[in-house]
């Protein structure tokens, strides 16, 4: 099969009116990636050498996504006249002479590359058309797959099915694969139906009439969830999360309460990493082995190295890099910054646009003042530095290796290595001042005395 070429045609021209959204339906996200992106990825995993995405006229957002993030060639279906009509909108791609054709849907985001490979393998083994089927708990509304032994004899729409056919639990998922030489049969599909549309499912009847081999590949219902409403989007997200959590655990991560951990499509978690409850991973997160992610942490666009500890209640924003055995503690936010080997920021700190050197200690309440109202500026904190609690480091600034910043300091100039920097008002004390002020305040309440306490 590896030598067979494959064209994936992804139908993404649906209006998605039931989503009630200004965002095109196929660009709503599952696991942080637009549904269409998941389908494109699955096609690539299945070995598609070319991808055609069929969109509605003027669908600029989908076109931009395909051009910048998805990959593939855009074709436009000028009028919504059915699924076969939509496939033929990509006729230039169909003319490329591919061995296998996959027809997918941009709103069915959980179909896997493994399943599509299985469909292609059936083509390589002699099938002419392969239809994806599943057995839902409630088959109402789905076209039934009428089998004659191993041959798919027909796809019967519910309104046309007999009582016996309606009892069939195997239904049509919509996804189809066929040999490249079957593409010419698409032009024979007519529109003699109530909607006067051209249905791809009619290819099954045409193939049977021509003596071709038509088979079914069956998958679990969760893999072919179609999304037309916000509720169905939530259902697909839940199914995606169950799958992603299982993959993470199968690869050696411990999720203490899996259902409270949310992953993105590209989350990578190393072996023997422990993830406590209520953790959210946005896109672009890579976690090495032996990491501990404490509860209620939010992590996106970050890389966490071996043996590090994050949280609880930590936030890592894009560009955060936490090196080996470093510590980012409770209510610490890190953005576009490196926390180097063994460094720690244990409490209530903001570290943005900075480098915290090896073994440095960042005290509670420390902030890097990285934004001056116009631009972001860098703070360099050297190896072994101690920054005392409630200090503000006004960037751009460098704290040299081994330096010590006294608590409560406002640092706006570079600090030399091994120096002590203290930048705060000198403490003064006036013995007896409070007692005198208290007496004066009581006299004022009684209407007398204008003197002041010095």
**Which residues are annotated as catalytic?**
347
Check: CB of residue 275 under 8 Å from CB of residue 263: no
b/e per residue 153-189 (b: at least 16 CB within 10 A) = ebbbbeeebeeeeeebebbbbbbbbbbbebbebbeeb
Q: Is 225 exposed, middle or buried (0-12, 13-18, 19+ CB in 10 A)?
A: buried
In the block, which residue shows the tokens 């290595």? 417
Check: CB of residue 186 under 8 Å from CB of residue 203: yes
DSSP symbols for 25-76: GGGSEETTEEHHHHHHHHHHHTT-SEEEEEE-TT-HHHHHHIIIII-SEEEE
Q: Which of 370, 329, 374, 340 is nearest to 353 (CA)?
A: 370
Check: CB of residue 176 under 8 Å from CB of residue 108: no
Q: Which of 419, 449, 420, 453 is nearest to 437 (CA)?
A: 453
């Amino acid at each position: 099969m590896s030598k067979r070429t494959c064209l994936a045609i992804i139908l993404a021209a649906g209006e998605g009116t039931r989503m009630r959204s200004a965002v095109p339906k196929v660009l709503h996200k599952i696991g942080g990636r637009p549904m269409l992106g998941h389908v494109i990825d699955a096609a690539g995993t299945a070995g598609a050498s070319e991808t055609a995405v069929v969109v509605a006229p003027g669908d600029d957002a989908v076109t931009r996504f395909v051009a910048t993030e998805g990959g593939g060639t855009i074709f436009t279906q000028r009028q919504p006249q059915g699924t076969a009509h939509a496939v033929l909108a990509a006729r230039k791609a169909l003319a490329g002479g591919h061995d296998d054709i996959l027809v997918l849907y941009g709103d069915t985001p959980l179909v896997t590359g493994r399943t599509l490979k299985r469909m292609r393998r059936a083509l390589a083994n002699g099938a002419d058309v392969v239809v994806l089927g599943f057995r839902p708990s409630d088959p109402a509304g789905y076209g039934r797959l009428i089998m004659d032994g191993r041959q798919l004899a027909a796809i019967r729409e519910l309104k046309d099915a007999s009582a016996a056919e309606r009892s069939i639990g195997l239904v049509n998922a919509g996804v189809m694969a066929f040999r490249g030489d079957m593409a010419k049969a698409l032009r024979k599909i007519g529109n003699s139906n109530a909607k006067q549309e051209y249905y791809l499912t009619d290819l099954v009847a045409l193939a049977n009439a021509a003596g071709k081999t038509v088979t079914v590949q069956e998958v679990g219902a969760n893999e072919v969830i179609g999304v037309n409403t916000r509720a169905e989007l939530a259902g697909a997200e839940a199914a995606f999360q169950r799958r992603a959590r299982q993959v993470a655990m199968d690869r050696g991560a411990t999720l203490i309460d899996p259902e409270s951990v949310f992953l993105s499509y590209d989350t990578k978690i190393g072996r023997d990493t422990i993830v406590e409850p209520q953790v959210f991973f946005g896109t672009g997160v890579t976690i090495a082995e032996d990491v501990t992610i404490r509860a209620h942490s939010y992590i996106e666009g970050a890389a966490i190295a071996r043996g590090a500890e994050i949280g609880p209640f930590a936030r890592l924003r894009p560009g955060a890099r936490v090196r080996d055995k470093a510590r980012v503690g409770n209510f610490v936010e890190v953005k576009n910054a490196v926390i180097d080997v063994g460094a720690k920021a244990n409490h209530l700190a903001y570290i943005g646009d900075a480098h915290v050197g090896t073994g440095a200690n960042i005290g509670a309440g420390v902030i890097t003042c990285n934004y001056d109202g116009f631009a972001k500026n860098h703070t360099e904190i050297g190896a072994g530095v101690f920054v005392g609690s409630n200090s503000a480091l006004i960037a751009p600034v460098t704290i040299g290796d081994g330096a010590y910043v006294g608590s409560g300091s406002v640092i706006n100039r570079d600090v030399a290595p091994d120096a002590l920097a203290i930048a705060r008002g000198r403490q003064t004390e006036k013995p007896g001042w409070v007692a005198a002020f208290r007496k004066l305040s009581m006299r004022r309440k009684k209407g007398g005395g204008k003197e002041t306490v010095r």
